[in-house]
Structure 1
Amino acid sequence: MKTDAGVHGHHISQQFNQELEEIKSSMLEMGGLVEHQLGDALSALISADSDLGTTVRAKDDAVNDMEINIDEACNRILARRQPAASDLRLVLAIIKATNDLERIGDEAAKIARLAIELADQGDSSKGYVEIRHIGERVRHMVNMALDAFARYDAEAALAVAREDVSVDLEYGTAMREMITYMIEDPRSITRVLNVIWALRSLERVGDHAKNIAEHVVYMVMGTDVRHAGLSGMEEQVKAELK
């Protein structure tokens, strides 16, 4: 595990230190909002609560605004401070993580829209067990990724990447089950398709959480592991921890 001092230095300019901490705090605050948005979207879907789904969709603008504000703050630091080494990696990682958080917010808004449509289509439990289970796992992944970022913890980031592999396997199983439902009962096709889109959004949330974990590894170690695969990421992190 890394500490703040181990990733970006403390500068003579206290103002620079403050600027770096502020953009990091803003990104983590955005992450908390997105986590909450995702949780509400899942609740709306499982409980067929169209009002909650509408509320989640309305909050998407706030997430978008936060992304813009954080990007602007990062660009100001890049232009005025011209950071190097670990400071530059921190700023770039925040920019990339913020983009992934915005995408998670988009997926939450999609799930909320599907919740409204499914509520209008009537009650059915098909697919909800899968949604609940995968939903809980990807929410935990987002939380783990943000915690790893907050603590500059490459080992914790690696755990997120490992979890994504398991989520992908579970997603594949759930998709096969949904197709079986549609074959057995063609009348359920429209409804089950909406469940499939919700599951697809959750799988994408997991991918974005994994991306954030990869940004943590880059920030801490200076190594780009985006195309290394899980085994390559494990090798890099283990080598750093020796």
Structure 2
Amino acid sequence: MPSVNDNFSKHISNQFNIELEQIRTQMLSMGGMVERQVSDAIDALINGNVELAEKTRERDKLANQMEMDIDQQCTKIIALRQPAASDLRLIIAISRVASDLERIGDESGRISKHAIEIANQPSRQPQIGYQEVRHIGNLVIEMVRDVLTAFSRGDLEMAYKVAKRDREVDQEYRSAIRSLVTYMMEDPRSITVVLNVMWILRSLERIGDHARSIAIHLIYQVSGEDVRHKSLREIKEAIHDSSPEDESDSYQSE
């Protein structure tokens, strides 16, 4: 694959190259931050760390600002540069990814909120459902990490694997909810804690959905195929059918 510099040299304006790389770097930096936010929110719950939970909730404000900054930069580039073909798809994809990352930050904030509510219970509560939270949490953190790696490399196969893994998260989520409902029926004293854990699991399931959505944006950016409402089989076919485009203004990731 040509290097970033080789692809940039195809643009008339070197400043355009710089602008594209800046928004791409900003988005990946935001991704690293929200990935850490998810991990910290889960750790705050497991360890009953209210201080960490509060810090994680505060970090959501930074994610909101980063999304707004990226979106403004994307809008500015489109207005001033009028990019075509794959450059335009890259900018659109970055804007959409930033939106999904901001929503992952929102879900992390909700996890932290429920973690604080559990930690502030008047009496010490058993760690009901924590094993499920840790397991599903690890799955979605890995999805977020892998989809960001896929985006940095333009790796469609890796993006497809992330999209496919969302099905596993959904299955684990449904199984965990069934177990918690049974536990709650057997011991009504656990209702308050279990309801908070169920909301946490719901947020984790949504984070998996957003990681899948980011994978879909990457597939669109690289292949030009909009597969947002396609089945996994159709997504796989779109990836295998896609071929590199010979476009003089195309920007390709490392």
Give TM class, smaller chain. over 0.9
2:252 aligns to what? none
Offset, 1:125: 1.6
Q: 1:207 aligns with which of 199, 206, 209?
A: 209
Offset, 1:239: 2.2
1:47 aligns to what? 47
Is the Cα–Cα contact under 8 Å of residues 8 and 14 in structure 2 kept in the other structure? no
Q: As a proportion of its length, which structure holds more helix?
A: 1
Distance 1:6 1:88 in 2: 19
Deviations, residues 19-67 of structure 1 (Å, cap 9, x unaligned):
0000000000000110111111010011111111011111111111101
Distance 1:153 1:110 in 2: 31
1:155 aligns to what? 157
2:134 aligns to what? 132
Is the Cα–Cα contact under 8 Å of residues 145 and 160 in structure 1 kept in the other structure? yes
1:68 aligns with 2:82: no
Aligned length: 242
Distance 1:71 1:172 in 2: 35
2:106 aligns to what? 106
Offset, 1:123: 3.1
Offset, 1:216: 0.4
Change (3 A) 1:149 1:2: farther
1:28 aligns to what? 28
1:87 aligns to what? 87
Is the Cα–Cα contact under 8 Å of residues 125 and 193 in structure 2 kept in the other structure? no
Deviations, residues 87-135 of structure 1 (Å, cap 9, x unaligned):
0000000000000000000000000001100111233221000000000
Structure 2 stretches lacking a partner, 5+ long: 245-254
Deviations, residues 148-189 of structure 1 (Å, cap 9, x unaligned):
111111111001011111111111100100101111111111
Offset, 1:235: 1.3
Distance 1:184 1:52 in 2: 32
Change (3 A) 1:87 1:54: same
Identity %: 51
Structure 1 stretches lacking a partner, 5+ long: none
Change (3 A) 1:172 1:4: farther
Offset, 1:241: 6.7
Distance 1:5 1:224 in 2: 28
Offset, 1:231: 1.4
Please tell me the root mean square deviation across aligned C-alpha atoms, in Å: 1.9
2:170 aligns to what? 168
Change (3 A) 1:71 1:172: same
Is the Cα–Cα contact under 8 Å of residues 7 and 87 in structure 1 kept in the other structure? no
Change (3 A) 1:127 1:38: same
Q: Aligned with 1:59: secondary structure?
A: helix
